[in-house]
């Protein structure tokens, strides 16, 4: 059973050279005769040699191991990120250690410790903390990912371009005749919220709309949070067709439920625009029109950044990737039947 696994010395013996030569041949160094190289490669194949990354790591300080610490691999967005990072890692001969922090400080700290002990070359992290303490202590190359990166301007990071995304969503709303949408936002504590609001305000001002006059509700970034926020919005006085821009797809889907529960229809009575691009949005009825974050691309880019960081060329700085609009059917097109302001119930 479980025989001792062949080492470079076994290969060298079989090929009739020293282990130095065998090592050079296997690592593709130049100063080896073609003939010797061939003999070594042949011998390696014959004995089934596979390099021991542990030993390489000991000697060279490079393990080919990278860490990824995200809130929850079960969240579709983060799964996309993980997938992108993992694919890119594989292309570069690296392997990814994946951890879920559940937005929990202690878990995060323990994961970071595990990464250090495993001697990873670096890590991609969506940090839980608002402050820099834990990350400062990390002591290895790392790249931040996600909106929280905004809090650490001096660190290399990859995020989605929230400003561009909000602008994209607003332009789409306007093009469909929704000039004064209501907003469903996340908790005040989240950093992305501020950027979202800032761009929203800019956009309103450019179009001579008073943002303060528009209805706005907060909620948790969940279906239930969106549902209760929408319920509150529907209780307010309103006239005619109603458009809502939700800061998160799950909230948008929750809002859709609330609309249905109120005996209204989407998109005939209420238009809903989401933000994230979760797969579930494709299966709701109507399909959720949304601004999709490039999750996979973010994973890919963050891994590229990390490799640069490890290699010492950290010119990257902060990367913000553009989002794109996915049109499905949760927005009524008021521009067709009404050149004027949005009035009437859309039929």
Partner DNA sequence: CGCTGTCGTGGTAACGTTCCCACAACATCG
Partner DNA sequence: CGATGTTGTGGGAACGTTACCACGACAGCG
Binding site for DNA (CB under 7 A): 4-5, 7-9, 17-21, 23-24, 26-27, 30-33, 35-36, 49, 51-52, 55-56, 58-60
β-strands 289-292, 324-326: how paired?
Answer: antiparallel
- Between 224 and 263, how does the x/- string for binding to its own copies read (CB under 8 A)? -----------------------------x--xx--x--x
144 or 310: CB nearest its own copies: 310
- The C-alpha angle 167, 222, 179, rounded to 5 degrees, equals 30
Q: Which of residues 87-146 bind its own copies (CB under 8 A)?
A: 87, 90, 95-100, 107, 110-111, 113-119, 139
Cα–Cα distance list, 271 to 169, 190, 334 (Å):
13, 25, 10
Dihedral of CA 304/69/79/196: which sign?
Answer: negative
Could you say which of its own copies, DNA, none residue 32 binds, taking C-beta under 5 to 8 angstroms by partner kind?
DNA
* CA 343 to the chain's CA centroid: 38
The interface region with its own copies, picked from 22-30, 47-55, 268-276, 318-326 by CB under 8 A, is: 47-55
21 or 199: CB nearest DNA: 21
Q: Which of residues 150-209 bind its own copies (CB under 8 A)?
A: none
* Residues 194, 148 contacting (CB under 8 angstroms): no
Could you say which of DNA, its own copies, none residue 26 binds, taking C-beta under 5 to 8 angstroms by partner kind?
DNA
Could you say which of DNA, its own copies, none residue 49 binds, taking C-beta under 5 to 8 angstroms by partner kind?
DNA
263 or 312: CB nearest DNA: 312
Locate tokens 């960081």: which residue? 309
Helix residue ranges per DSSP H, 236-293? 249-261
* Residues 159, 320 contacting (CB under 8 angstroms): yes
* C-alpha span between 293 and 310 (Å, rounded): 26
Could you say which of DNA, its own copies, none residue 27 binds, taking C-beta under 5 to 8 angstroms by partner kind?
DNA
**Residue 58 Cβ vs its own copies, minimum distance, rounded to whole Å:** 5
* C-alpha span between 112 and 104 (Å, rounded): 12
Contact partners, residue 309, CB within 8 Å, separation at least 6: 122, 141, 142, 143, 156, 316
Options 58, 129, 336, 343; binder of its own copies; rule CB under 8 A: 58
Could you say which of its own copies, DNA, none residue 154 binds, taking C-beta under 5 to 8 angstroms by partner kind?
none
**Residue 68 Cβ vs its own copies, minimum distance, rounded to whole Å:** 9
Q: Which two tokens stand for residue 44?
A: 């390696």
**Residue 38 Cβ vs DNA, minimum distance, rounded to whole Å:** 11
Secondary-structure percent of the chain, ordered helix, strand, coil, rounded to 5: 45, 15, 35
**Residue 201 Cβ vs its own copies, minimum distance, rounded to whole Å:** 30
| DSSP-derived 3-state class of residue 331 | coil
Is residue 285 involved in binding its own copies (CB under 8 A)?
yes
Q: Which two tokens stand for residue 221?
A: 């970034």
* Residues 8, 22 contacting (CB under 8 angstroms): yes
Kindly list the residues in this chain that would bind its own copies in the complex (CB under 8 A).
2, 5, 50-55, 57-58, 63-65, 72-74, 76, 79-80, 82-83, 86-87, 90, 95-100, 107, 110-111, 113-119, 139, 223, 253, 256-257, 260, 263, 279-285, 347
């Amino acid at each position: 059973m479980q025989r001792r696994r062949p080492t470079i010395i076994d290969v060298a013996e079989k090929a009739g050279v020293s282990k130095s030569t065998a090592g050079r041949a296997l690592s593709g160094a130049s100063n080896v005769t073609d003939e010797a190289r061939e003999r070594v490669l042949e011998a390696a194949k014959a004995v089934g040699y596979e390099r021991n990354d542990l030993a390489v790591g000991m000697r060279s300080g490079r393990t080919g191991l990278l860490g990824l610490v995200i809130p929850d691999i079960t969240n579709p967005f983060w799964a996309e990120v993980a997938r992108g990072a993992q694919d890119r890692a594989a292309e570069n001969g690296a392997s990814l250690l994946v951890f879920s922090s559940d937005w929990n400080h202690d878990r995060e700290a323990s994961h970071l410790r595990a990464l250090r002990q495993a001697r990873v070359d670096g890590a991609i992290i969506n940090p839980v903390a608002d402050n820099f303490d834990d990350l400062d202590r990390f002591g290895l190359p790392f790249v931040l990912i996600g909106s929280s990166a905004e809090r650490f301007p001096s660190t290399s990071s990859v995020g989605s371009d929230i400003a561009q995304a909000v602008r994209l969503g607003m332009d789409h709303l306007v093009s469909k005749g929704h000039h004064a949408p209501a907003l469903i936002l996340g908790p005040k504590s989240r950093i992305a919220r501020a950027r979202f609001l800032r761009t929203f305000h800019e956009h309103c001002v450019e179009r001579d709309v008073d943002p303060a006059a528009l209805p706005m509700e907060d909620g948790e970034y969940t279906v239930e949070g969106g549902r209760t926020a929408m319920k509150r919005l529907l209780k307010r006085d309103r006239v005619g067709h109603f458009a809502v821009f939700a800061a998160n797809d799950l909230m948008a889907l929750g809002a859709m439920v609330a609309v249905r529960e109120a005996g209204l229809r989407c998109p005939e009575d209420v238009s809903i625009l989401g933000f994230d691009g979760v797969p579930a949005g494709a299966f709701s009825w109507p399909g959720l029109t949304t601004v999709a974050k490039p999750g996979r691309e973010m994973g890919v880019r963050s891994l590229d950044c990390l490799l640069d960081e490890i290699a010492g060329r950290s010119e990257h700085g902060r990367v913000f990737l553009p989002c794109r609009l996915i049109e499905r059917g949760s927005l009524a097109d008021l521009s067709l039947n009404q050149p004027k302001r949005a009035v009437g119930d859309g039929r």
